[in-house]
C-alpha cells in the first residue's frame, strides 16, 4: 500500500458512521507497525482534533501490539540480554527510544569503572571500585523523594537522571559488573531488590539502594525476620532476567495505579501476563 492509499484511508477517519470508522481502523491496524511513520505524517497534516485523536489511538495500538510480541520473543529467545528487556519495557513510555544509544550510555559507565578495575583484586575491592564510580563520581542514587514514579522503572530515565528505584539502580550496576566478568546477579527480596556477588569461593550481597553497601547472609535473614517473612532459598540466590523484568513491570503497575492511570495499569498487566506464562 502506497502513501496515497494510506492518505485515502486516513481521510475516512472523519466519517460520522461508526461502522465505517471501525472498518477503516481495522484495515489500518492490519498493516502492522510499519505504517506508524505514515500515520505520524498524516497526524501532522490534519487539523481535525477528532481525526488526530483517532490516529494517536491507532499508533498506540500498533506500538503496544508490537511491544507485546517483542517482549514475548525476548523471553523465549533473548532472555540473557537484560538490557534489551529493560529497553523494551522503556519503549512502552518512550516508543522512539534507540537501543544503540542506550547501550552507549551503559558502555560509558563500564569504561569509567574499567579504568580502575583490577582483575586480580579481591571481590570486595572490585565492588569498592564500582561503588566509587557509580555513587561518588557519577552520583547515582535511589529516588527517596518520589520512589514510585514510572520514570524510576525506565532504564533511559534512570541513566539520564542518575536516580531510580532499587531495581533500576541495581540493573545498571549488574550490567556494568557483568561486562567486567564480575559474577553479580539480581536477588528478588521482598520489598527491595538487591544484588549478590556469587562465585565458587564466596557469596555476599550488595544493597544498590544504599550506595552499594555489602551485606552478609545473616543480615539478609535478619531483614526477613524483621518484616515477618519466613526465609526461603529464593531470597538468597540469583534470580533470572525474566524475573527481573517481571518485577520492573509490577513496579510500573504500582506506579500507574497510584496515578489512577487505569488504562496503563491494564496494559502493563497484559505485558506482565505475556511473560509470566510457562
pLDDT digits (tens, 9 = 90+) for 241-278: 999 999 999 999 999 999 999 999 999 999 999 999 75
Are 121 and 27 in a shared domain? no
pLDDT tens, residue by residue, 207-233: 999 999 999 999 999 999 999 999 999
- Which among 254, 151, 142 has a CA at the least distance from the CA of 208? 142
Residues 72 and 96 in one domain: no
- State how many domains the chain has: 2
pLDDT reading at 11 higher than 80:
no
- 25 and 60 belong to one structural domain: yes
Q: Residue 22: count other Cβ atoms within 10 Å of its Cβ.
A: 10
**Residue where the block lists cell 518512550:** 94
Listing from the earlier edge strand, what are the strands of the sheet with 203-207? 184-189, 192-198, 203-207, 213-215
Note whether 69 and 109 are same-domain residues: no
Same domain, 67 and 117: no
Lowest-pLDDT choice from 17-21, 25-29, 48-52, 176-180:
17-21
Say if residue 169 is in the same domain as residue 248. Answer: yes
What is the distance between the alpha carbons of residues 141 and 153, in angstroms, rounded to a whole number?
14
Listed residues 43, 77, 111: the one ending a domain: 77
Q: What is the pLDDT of residues 134-163, one digit of tens each?
A: 999 999 998 876 667 999 999 999 999 999
Q: Do 88 and 214 reside in the same domain of the chain?
A: yes
Whether residues 180 and 246 share a domain: the answer is yes
Q: Are residues 46 and 156 in the same domain?
A: no
125 and 27 both lie in a single domain:
no
**Last residue of a domain, which of 77, 107, 131?**
77
Single residue among 35, 58, 77 that ends a domain in this structure: 77
Both 165 and 50 in one domain: the answer is no
Do residues 160 and 237 both lie within one domain? yes
The domain in which residue 270 lies consists of 82-274
Amino acid at each position: 500500500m502506497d502513501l496515497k492509499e494510506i492518505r485515502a484511508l486516513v481521510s475516512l477517519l472523519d466519517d460520522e458512521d461508526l461502522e465505517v470508522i471501525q472498518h477503516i481502523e481495522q484495515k489500518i491496524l492490519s498493516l502492522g507497525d510499519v505504517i506508524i511513520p505514515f500515520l505520524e505524517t498524516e497526524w501532522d497534516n490534519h487539523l481535525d482534533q477528532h481525526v488526530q485523536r483517532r490516529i494517536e489511538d491507532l499508533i498506540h495500538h500498533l506500538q503496544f501490539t508490537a511491544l507485546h510480541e517483542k517482549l514475548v520473543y525476548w523471553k523465549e529467545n533473548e532472555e540473557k540480554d537484560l538490557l534489551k528487556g529493560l529497553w523494551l519495557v522503556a519503549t512502552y513510555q518512550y516508543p522512539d527510544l534507540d537501543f544503540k544509544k542506550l547501550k552507549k550510555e551503559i558502555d560509558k559507565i563500564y569504561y569509567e569503572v574499567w579504568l580502575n578495575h583490577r582483575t586480580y583484586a579481591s571481590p570486595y575491592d572490585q565492588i569498592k571500585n564500582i561503588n566509587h564510580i557509580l555513587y561518588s563520581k557519577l552520583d547515582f542514587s535511589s529516588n527517596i523523594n518520589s520512589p514510585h514514579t514510572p520514570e524510576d522503572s525506565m532504564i533511559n530515565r534512570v541513566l539520564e537522571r542518575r536516580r531510580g528505584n532499587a531495581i533500576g539502580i541495581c540493573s545498571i550496576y549488574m550490567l556494568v559488573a557483568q561486562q567486567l566478568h564480575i559474577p553479580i546477579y539480581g536477588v528478588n527480596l521482598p520489598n527491595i531488590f538487591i544484588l549478590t556477588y556469587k562465585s565458587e569461593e564466596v557469596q555476599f550481597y550488595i544493597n544498590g539502594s544504599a550506595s552499594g553497601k555489602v551485606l552478609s547472609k545473616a543480615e539478609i535473614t535478619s531483614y526477613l525476620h524483621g518484616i515477618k517473612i519466613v526465609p526461603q532459598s529464593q531470597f538468597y540466590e540469583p534470580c533470572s532476567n525474566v524475573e527481573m523484568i517481571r518485577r520492573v513491570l509490577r513496579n510500573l503497575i504500582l506506579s500507574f495505579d497510584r496515578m489512577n492511570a487505569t488504562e496503563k495499569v491494564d496494559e502493563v498487566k497484559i505485558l506482565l501476563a505475556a511473560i509470566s506464562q510457562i
